[in-house]
Chains A and B, each alone.
Chain A
Amino acid sequence: MMHSIAQKEFISTLRDRRFGVLSALVLALLLAATLVGRASYRTLQQERQLAQATVNEQFRNQPARHPHRVAHYGSFAFRPKSGLSLLDAGVDSFTGSAVFLEAHQQNSVNFSPAQQSGSLIRFGEMTVAFVLQLLVPLLIIFLCFGAFTQERETGTLKLLLSQGVTIRQVAWGKILGYSQAVALVVAPALALAAVLLFTGEEFASGVDLAARLTLFVVSYAVYFFLFVVGAVVVSAGQSSSRAALVTLLGFWILSGIILPKATANLGASLYPTTTKAQMDAEVHEQAQHGLNGHDPQDKRAAALKADLLKKYGVDSEDKLPVSVAGLQMAAGEEYSTRVYQQHFAALNATYQRQNRLSDWAGLLNPYQAIRPLSMGLAGSDFAHYVHFQQAAESYRYDLVQRLNGLQASMGYGDKERRLDASTWRAVPVFMYQAPTLGWAWPHLFLPMAALLLWAGLLSWIGLRLIATTPVA
């Protein structure tokens, strides 16, 4: 019986012209968003790969130079796009793509797509995730708001129950039927995305990508399922179709438009951060005067020199086999980087506190659960961005220390000499390895739990509520 109800809902949905138009629209948007997502992914990826290859070539082909000049010449790190970011661009449009790596300072990641467009970008971007997170639920609402109210208004619910089915079976039948209809709309686009992802030569298709894509699809399936169940439960609880529709649309506006913005803004107001200028000044001052304020840089440098003279048992700098300036530079870099890392960690901890409000709101609002989950799986969330920043900084540090080491080994009077051009070809270039799903897992746990909790509670408590709904 349940299956006949499911089949009836499925078929009558397909016959509904309004559903046909709406779903064709959503499907068209999904397919367009997938193709556009891939095109923009390709452009950005090619631009960044080309830029990275260019700067790597430039670095390796430097003439004979003093290593500290090379440290100031520096290099760039470009952030490659993750494969799944063509489905969910996440925060990518608001994060920079290039960072200049040089001695003594940590630069900002510059040139975000948002800075290259007007305020139009604040209306939101047409990505697959946007369609899946906001438009498909709207389609589900239009599909399901009359699930029970209409049966009641036309008097068919009584007839149905007189056949000997329980109201719960009716509800499950409807949920099943509607779910099939939704799957029919969404599946082609996701299939296209999967094909594009696994056939395009530019994607490093591997186990990780497959696992991410699978979880991506499963998460959205749960998300749509809970919307279907929720809409059916609301339909059973409301007295008229109009009331059910207004309630559901009100929920959609609150959860999709108002709450995400309000929680993000409130979080930022609650936990203020400092500017980069302020942070850089503090890093500089602490590196100069010592972390405790009583260990100034020149004293540290003098102590280092004295230690060296003692270690090699000589009485003047020119008798040392190493360059004091090079070793002092290395010690200074180590110290200032340690100070920077403390500040960077504190800044990110503040950002995490700001975002925590939104994360926990996921327990109340399924949209705020699927959003971080989706961008986390797509590799385009804040955590993945920080991972890139840290990888770039760690490469910068290694590069600069390697060059300081080269300078130190040049011995006394290094400033008058240069190192051979072949030296630079031996320096490793920046290669970014995006983190695996296992690394991202801790960030995904809360939103995933929130989604499952919603689905579970709705199917359990919601369906119990349905059982008490009036028949006529």
Chain B
Amino acid sequence: MHLFRILFFYEWRHFRAARGLVLLCCLLLATGLYGIYYGTTEIERQRQHLANLPELTRRNVDELKVKFPGPADAGDIGYYHSTFAMHHPDRWAALSLGLRDVNPSYVKLRLLGLQNQLYATDNTNPMKVLSGNFDLAFVLVYLLPLLIIALCFNLLSSEREEGILVVLLAQPVRPAVVVGAKLAFRLVVVLGLAGLLSVVGMLWAQVPLDGRVIMWLSLTVLYCLFWFGVSLVVTALQRPSAVNAVALLGVWLLLVVLVPSLLNLSVATARPVPQGIALTIKQREEIHGGWDRPKTETMNRFFALYPQWRDTATIRERFVWRWYYAFQHLGDLAVAPQAAAYAHGLQQRYDLVEQLNLLSPAINAQTSFNALAGTDLPTHLQFQRSATRFHDSLRAFYYPFLFGKVEFTHADYAREPTHSFTSQPELPTLYRGLVKLLLSVAAVYGLGAVLWRVRPIIPR
């Protein structure tokens, strides 16, 4: 143990003297801090955008109050009035932005058919979303392994190349203690950095102190341990430093770049998504066909679903709002199977990726971070379901006015339902991610142990 401490201490002195490595650590710290800054400001911006939306609804209502000074037909209000379904980020989203910039964080809704409103997108700069987010998760998943590689690629090889190893091993010291001390020192440095960044990120983003703090830290530690395991395996092969560097970078390239892009391709081929385009085209046909169909046919189909309005007056007018909204809703129902298939197809794609992410701990870590922060596709699908329920509640609010022929007064605006949805973490995905990461770590250390056993250290 004493020997271990001496070796550990000399690693520290060695590290302090190697200016390049200190610089790299500072660089990682700086990029990590930038990642936290960027993530928190990006989420703050999204919050600000969402906070401005009720003001837009208020302005819309003010305009309608001028346009309809007295009691109005609720049909007119439903047509001209717009409100928003809003997807508020969780505080954790600042550390792992996921797809929050690709998917819109709100949907503008009117009483009309839902399906051609639900998939509207927000303004985005395609070049920016293509480049991706420089958040803390990016620093941890992409850059931290590179620091580990830079620290470990010449773990033993440099000692051998400088002729120190032969002297070192001539001392009464077990090789395992030498490697252990070197690795332990690097582990302390890397975990210290990762832990520091994580804690700073959590404080900066003001995350709630729940079980997810432990989850985030466990994910980070396990992911670092995995890369140290890879370095251990490569060190066990006892090749020159340059070969080690190339091999380690090759593994990084494979797991962080190649496997994800190839997996993306194969998943898109294996799980083709039913066309969203076809869905909106069909819904338009259904809704506009509503104008040309006999009114009694439309109303009978509608009353079969809403028998409570069956006893309302028969429509004799050329145009009446309740008929108009009835065929809007029937248009949505006609494409309900397609809409469900579309959402289901997207979820299946995600599920397949989740099953296969055992292939690359990088994908696993990224998926798990996003699941923890509630920023991936499933959360967006949840938001869309929540927005659908909100649209249902809007219809339920307006139908008594429309079918009961109740006039819509200025006081009724305040009674209209509002919507708010906050991202929830995908805990099952997160737990599975942790278990799989643990498996990857066990596998790589198992391999390392076997290699060290079969290959004794060659001193020169």
Contacts and interface: CB of A to CB of B under 8 A. Distances in A.
Q: Do A and B bind each other?
A: yes
Interface of A: 29, 36, 40, 47-48, 51, 54-55, 58, 63, 65, 69, 72-74, 76, 78, 90-91, 93-98, 100, 107-126, 130, 134-135, 138, 142, 241-242, 245-246, 249, 253, 257-258, 260-265, 267-269, 272-281, 285, 288, 347, 351, 354-355, 358, 381-382, 385
Interface size class of B (residues with CB under 8 A): 35 or more
Interface string B126-156: 1111111110001000110010001000100
Interface residues of A, dominant DSSP: helix
Contacts of B123: 108, 273-276, 279, 347
B85 to A, nearest CB: 11
A419 to B, nearest CB: 14
Contacts of B291: 65, 69
Contacts of A118: 99, 349-350, 353, 367, 376-377
**Residue of B52, B60, B124, B276 contacting most chain A CB atoms (<10 Å):** B124
Interface string B290-316: 011000000000000000000000000
A262 B375 CA distance: 21
**Residue of A249, A260, A277, A381 contacting most chain B CB atoms (<10 Å):** A277
Contact of A123 (B45, B264, B273): B264
A385 B123 CA distance: 13
B260 A245 contact: no
B361 interface: no
Given A111-B277, A126-B264, A277-B84, A116 B132 contact: no
A78 B277 contact: yes
A288 B63 contact: yes
Contact of A91 (B34, B127, B263, B281): B127
B413 interface: no
30 contacts: A51-B278, A90-B130, A91-B129, A94-B124, A95-B126, A98-B277, A110-B119, A115-B121, A116-B273, A117-B377, A118-B350, A119-B99, A119-B375, A120-B263, A122-B99, A123-B261, A134-B257, A246-B150, A246-B245, A258-B31, A260-B131, A261-B131, A262-B134, A263-B131, A273-B123, A275-B53, A276-B121, A276-B122, A351-B127, A355-B127
Contacts of A51: 275, 277-278, 281
A55 B128 CA distance: 32
A278 B52 contact: yes
Contacts of B370: 119
Interface of B: 31, 34, 38, 41-42, 45, 49, 52-53, 56, 59-60, 63, 84, 98-99, 102-103, 106, 108, 116, 119-134, 138, 142-143, 146, 150, 154, 241-242, 245-246, 249, 253, 256-258, 260-265, 267-268, 273, 275-278, 280-281, 284-285, 288, 291-292, 346, 349-350, 353, 362-363, 366-367, 370, 375-377
Interface residues of B, dominant DSSP: helix
A263 B38 CA distance: 12
Contacts of A119: 98-99, 366-367, 370, 375-377
Contacts of A100: 116, 280, 284
Contacts of B63: 288
A142 B243 CA distance: 10
A264 B363 contact: no
A97 B281 CA distance: 13
Contacts of A47: 275, 277
Contacts of B362: 123
A115 B346 CA distance: 9
Contacts of A125: 261, 264-265
A272 B45 contact: yes
A275 B277 contact: no
A261 B134 contact: yes
Given A47-B275, A142-B246, A262 B264 contact: no
B382 to A, nearest CB: 14
A285 to B, nearest CB: 7
Nearest to B256: A123
Given A117-B346, A124-B261, 11 more contacts: A76-B277, A111-B119, A111-B277, A114-B102, A124-B257, A242-B242, A249-B245, A253-B146, A264-B128, A273-B123, A281-B56
A123 B125 contact: no
Contact of A117 (B121, B349, B367): B349
Contact of A110 (B59, B106, B120): B120
Contacts of A123: 256-257, 260-261, 264, 362-363, 366
B280 A358 contact: no
Contact of B242 (A115, A245, A267): A245
Given A126-B264, A245-B245, A382 B52 contact: no
Nearest to A264: B131
Contacts of B366: 119, 122-123
The 10 nearest A-B residue pairs measured at CB: A123-B260, A264-B131, A91-B126, A126-B261, A118-B350, A118-B377, A351-B125, A108-B121, A265-B134, A111-B276
Contact of B125 (A108, A134, A245, A354): A354
A121 B99 CA distance: 10
Contacts of B353: 118, 120
Nearest to A62: B288
A51 B291 CA distance: 23
Nearest to A72: B288
A241 B288 CA distance: 71
Contacts of B268: 40, 113, 117
Contacts of B346: 116-117
A246 B149 CA distance: 11
Contacts of A274: 49, 123
A386 to B, nearest CB: 9
Nearest to A40: B268
**Residue of A76, A78, A93, A94 contacting most chain B CB atoms (<10 Å):** A94
B265 A126 contact: yes
Given A269-B38, A275-B49, A278-B52, A382 B260 contact: no
B277 A242 contact: no
Nearest to B133: A265
Nearest to B275: A47
A382 B377 contact: no
Nearest to A272: B45
